[in-house]
């Protein structure tokens, strides 16, 4: 009846969201009066699992198999099934990474459960777990109750829990060796690659002016470029702008693009879907200009103007020039 | 290549959302609807594969009667025929929804099943993968490119931080498609005309023999999120608002 945090590594490096999941599992365990354990899958991950020995956990499972060296959804689900059978966790928590998005629904379905994906918070009421998740690209929240027996499955949004809140203690590593046969793996993953060297390092920019769907047409981007120039900043964009080919992919901020944390991030016509927010919410000062006062970008903005960007931005360019 | 594309109708992107009095759903009055954007890209990918390799594209959609407009659009863009599972989907969680889709698609003998990587309304991002598991076929998610290979297909998956990966897989298979995979086509006048004579099969959960099991997760309530951050908003004319903002950025935040 414990909590199991299933952590993520690639080539022996932790995904930093793993520790957020670990912290959440410890908190939930305490609230439910039970313990938390952790599992990490791979080939030769015992030493990596050992890095968690100073955490307060019941057990750390190093799930070991040669066929777990390169991630496949089939091998991961085959490997986790007997572990779940053995320890019968009430709730399994995962970081909401691209990899988890790829295999968690499959794993949950095999247990005839629906995973609560991309949760941002939890609470315990009368011994029952309620998770909060976002609908409509962050415009609406939903409280979701886990009912009936475990195992239940949930993935946690990047940044929803603090990695530095893990509780120290001691934990023993157990190597768990599931049986996996090559015939069970139907897909063949190839080497990871990047499209091209990035000519623009948005991560180094002090000021970023970022443009989204609200700009309507490619020709209008020049207006936002002028604002970036006036501020001495770099131009960036949300995903739809790069998808449309209006700006190169290397200028995309968000989960599939770059993660940035400039001193000033000015979002123009960006509604603030979570995939964008995770890429910029570490910025020191966030400014949003958007016609929709309910846009999620205002959730993370320090300053905002609700209005038509085509009227506001030209005035802003003038005001910036005057101030310099 | 026989391709089934699962599409969903969702509230239009810029909708002003209000919570219904039940506190469990969105007030549907005055909402307009459109195809879920990633599903539009899945349809586009399906149509392009058909143009290249021949075959058939079947649009599959579960939703109430209003979803017929989205299905007609898919037919107008080039889908050959459609299956409409006519149900109010409010009572169906992603597993139950995928069970409906699985029942409808089972007899089709599809080589490839495509859908968007997530819906812009509920955003579970799971229906495609669940459907693959129920059908017992391999899957790949967040796919940017699909190519036929000797033994099946090779897909390009998007990973985090600008990384990609190719995955080889046999057919039949299910792919969840990322937005932006290619440019979306518009329906032509000819397409719209042709769509009227294309077959649209209507089925229901009952006719498919699917009954939703007791859910393991229950939505208690939905609500507009409370602002956790205090945002200073500047009103007045655009000129006044811009001047106030610049003053704050210069003297309070000290970032310019």
- B67 and B151 together in one domain: yes
Cβ-based contacts of B238 with chain A (< 8 Å): 305, 307-308, 311-312, 314-315
- B33 and B98 together in one domain: yes
Q: Which candidate, B160, B153, B155, B163, places its Cα nearest to that of B181?
A: B155
Secondary structure (DSSP) of B12-56: -TT----B-TTSSSB--TT--EEE-HHHHHHHHHHHHHHHHH--E
- B108 and B194 together in one domain: yes
pLDDT at A257: 85
Position A198 confidence tier, pLDDT thresholds 50, 70, 90: low
Cβ-based contacts of A157 with chain B (< 8 Å): none
Is it the case that residue A209 has pLDDT exceeding 80?
yes
- Give the domain extent around A304: 202-323
- B41 and B125 together in one domain: yes
- Give the domain extent around B195: 2-208
| Contact call for residues A7 and A166 (beta carbons, < 8 A) | no
Q: pLDDT digits over B88-123, tens only?
A: 998 899 999 999 999 999 999 999 999 999 999 999
Is it the case that residue A197 has pLDDT exceeding 70?
no
Cβ-based contacts of A249 with chain B (< 8 Å): 162
CA A116, CA A138: separation in Å to the nearest integer? Answer: 15
- A133 and A244 together in one domain: no
Residue A192 lies in a domain: no
- B139 and B12 together in one domain: yes
DSSP A23: H
Q: Which candidate, A263, A313, A316, places its Cα nearest to that of A291?
A: A313
Q: Which of A143, A256, A308 sits opposite B160 (nearest CB)?
A: A256
Residue A189 lies in a domain: no
Structure tokens at A35: 């313990």
Position A196 confidence tier, pLDDT thresholds 50, 70, 90: low
Provide the CATH number for the domain around residue A31: 3.40.50.620
- A158 and A209 together in one domain: no
Q: Average of pLDDT values for A159-182?
A: 95
Give how many domains chain A has, as a whole number.
Answer: 2
CA B122, CA A157: separation in Å to the nearest integer? Answer: 15
- pLDDT beneath 50, residues of chain B: none
Q: Is the pLDDT higher at A194 or at A5?
A: A5
B positions 90-109 inside 8 Å of A (CB): 93-95, 98
> Of the residues A184, A217, A244, which one is the last residue of a structural domain?
A184
pLDDT at B157: 96
pLDDT at B193: 97
pLDDT at B96: 95
> Of the residues A151, A184, A217, which one is the last residue of a structural domain?
A184
B255 vs A205, A233, A298, A315, CA distance in Å?
A: 13, 11, 19, 19
Report how many Cβ contacts below 8 Å link chain A to chain B.
264
Burial of A163 (0-12, 13-18, 19+ CB in 10 A): middle
Provide the CATH number for the domain around residue A234: 3.40.50.1220
- A54 and A162 together in one domain: yes
Is it the case that residue A4 has pLDDT exceeding 90?
yes
Are the beta carbons of A136 and B121 separated by less than 8 Å?
Answer: yes
CA–CA min distance B197, chain A (Å): 33
- B123 and B193 together in one domain: yes
- B6 and B133 together in one domain: yes
Provide the CATH number for the domain around residue B80: 3.40.50.620
φ, ψ (nearest 5 deg) of residue B211: -120, 130
Q: Which of A135, A148, A302 sits opposite B122 (nearest CB)?
A: A135
Cβ-based contacts of B215 with chain A (< 8 Å): 114, 147
Other CB atoms within 10 Å distance of the CB of residue B26: 19
Helical H runs in chain B?
37-53, 68-77, 94-105, 127-135, 189-195, 205-208, 238-251
Is it the case that residue A38 has pLDDT exceeding 80?
yes
ipTM score of complex: 0.93
Burial per residue of A68-83, b for 16 or more beta-carbon CB atoms within 10 angstroms, e otherwise: bebbbbbbbbbbbeeb
Q: Which of A10, A81, A135, A279 to mutate to test the interface with B (most CBs of B within 10 A)?
A: A135
Average pLDDT in chain A:
95
- B44 and B157 together in one domain: yes
Residue B202 lies in a domain: yes
Percent of chain A with pLDDT strictly greater than 70: 99
A114 vs A7, B44, B129, CA distance in Å?
A: 19, 29, 12
Residue B213 lies in a domain: no
At which residue do the structure tokens 């998956």 appear? B157
**B59, β-bridge pairs:** B5, B82
Q: Is the pLDDT higher at A258 or at B78?
A: B78
Q: Taking the model in full, what pTM does it have?
A: 0.91
- B254 and B161 together in one domain: no
């Amino acid at each position: 009846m414990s909590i199991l945090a299933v952590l993520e590594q690639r080539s022996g490096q932790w995904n930093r969201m793993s520790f957020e999941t670990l912290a959440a599992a410890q908190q939930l365990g305490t609230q439910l009066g039970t313990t938390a354990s952790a599992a990490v899958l791979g080939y030769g991950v015992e030493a990596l699992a050992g890095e968690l020995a100073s955490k307060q956990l019941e057990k750390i499972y190093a799930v070991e198999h040669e066929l777990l060296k390169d991630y496949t959804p089939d091998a991961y689900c085959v490997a986790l099934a007997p572990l779940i059978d053995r320890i019968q966790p009430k709730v399994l928590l995962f970081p909401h990474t691209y990899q988890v998005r790829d295999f968690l629904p499959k794993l949950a379905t095999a247990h005839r459960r629906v995973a609560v994906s991309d949760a941002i918070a939890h609470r315990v009421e009368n011994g029952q777990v309620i998770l909060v998740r976002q609908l409509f690209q962050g415009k609406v929240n939903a409280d979701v109750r886990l009912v009936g027996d475990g195992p239940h499955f949930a993935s946690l949004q990047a940044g929803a829990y603090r990695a530095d809140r893990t509780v120290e203690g001691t934990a023993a590593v157990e190597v768990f060796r599931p049986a996996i046969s090559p015939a069970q793996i139907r897909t063949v993953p190839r080497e990871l690659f990047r499209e091209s060297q990035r000519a623009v390092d948005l991560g180094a920019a002090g000021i970023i002016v970022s443009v989204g769907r609200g700009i309507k047409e490619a020709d209008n981007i020049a207006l936002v470029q002028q604002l970036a120039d006036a501020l001495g900043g770099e131009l960036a964009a949300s995903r739809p702008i790069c998808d449309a080919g209006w700006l190169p992919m290397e200028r995309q901020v968000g989960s599939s693009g770059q993660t940035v944390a400039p001193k000033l991030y000015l979002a123009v016509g960006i509604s603030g879907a979570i995939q964008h927010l995770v890429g910029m919410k570490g910025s020191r000062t966030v400014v949003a200009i958007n016609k929709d006062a309910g846009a999620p970008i205002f959730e993370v903005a320090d300053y905002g103007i609700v209005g038509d960007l085509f009227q506001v931005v030209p005035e802003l360019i003038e005001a910036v020039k005057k101030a310099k | 290549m026989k391709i089934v594309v699962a599409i969903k109708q969702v509230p239009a992107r810029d909708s002003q959302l209000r919570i219904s009095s039940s506190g469990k759903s969105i007030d549907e009055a005055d909402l307009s609807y459109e195809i879920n954007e990633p599903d539009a890209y899945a349809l586009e990918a399906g149509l392009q594969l058909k143009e290249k390799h021949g075959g058939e594209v079947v649009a599959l959609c579960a939703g109430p009667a209003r979803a017929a407009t989205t299905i007609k659009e898919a037919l107008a863009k080039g889908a050959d025929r459609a299956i409409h599972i006519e149900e109010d989907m409010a009572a169906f969680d992603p597993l139950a929804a995928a069970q409906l889709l699985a029942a409808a698609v089972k007899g089709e003998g599809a080589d490839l099943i495509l859908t968007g990587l997530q819906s812009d309304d509920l955003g579970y991002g799971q229906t495609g993968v669940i459907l693959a598991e129920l059908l017992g076929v391999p899957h790949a998610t967040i796919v940017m490119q699909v190519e036929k290979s000797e033994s099946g297909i090779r897909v390009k998956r998007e990973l985090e931080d600008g990384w990609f990966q190719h995955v080889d897989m046999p057919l039949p298979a299910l792919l969840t498609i990322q937005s932006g995979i290619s440019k979306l086509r518009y329906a032509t006048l000819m397409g719209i005309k042709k769509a009227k004579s294309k077959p649209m099969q209507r089925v229901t959960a009952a006719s498919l023999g699917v009954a939703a099991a007791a859910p393991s997760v229950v939505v208690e309530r939905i609500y507009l999120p409370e602002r956790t951050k205090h945002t200073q908003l500047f009103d007045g004319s655009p000129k006044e608002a811009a001047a106030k903002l610049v003053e704050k950025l210069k003297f309070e935040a000290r970032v310019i």
